[in-house]
Amino acid sequence: MAMVAEFEANLNHLRTREGMAKARAKGRLKGKQPKLPLAARRTIHRRYHDPDDDASLADLTEEYSVGRSTIHRSTIHRFISGTAPRA
């Protein structure tokens, strides 16, 4: 009985993977989208590291209406390609 259940679970796993591959090929499987557009992330990074601009994490958090961790990720990563680096 357990063998049948394992076989069905494997079939379900394979079908799911096939569906995801098809969706990815069509460009419909993108994953979680960033909270801020690339231009905003670049501006946050520039403003936070600019010695002439005294913007703090709290200031940027309030200005962009996002969480502190979102701002922090934008300040520590260089977003060149538009996607966040994998952790």
- Give the pLDDT confidence of 43-61 residue by residue, as tens digits: 999 999 898 988 889 999 9
Q: C-alpha distances in angstroms, 83 versus 5, 6, 18?
A: 39, 37, 25
46, amino acid identity: R
Cβ-contact 31, 20 below 8 angstroms: no
pLDDT digits (tens, 9 = 90+) for 60-76: 999 999 999 999 888 88
Quick check: 87 pLDDT over 50?
A: no
pTM for this one?
0.57
Quick check: 30 pLDDT over 50?
A: yes
Q: What is the pLDDT of residue 12?
A: 96
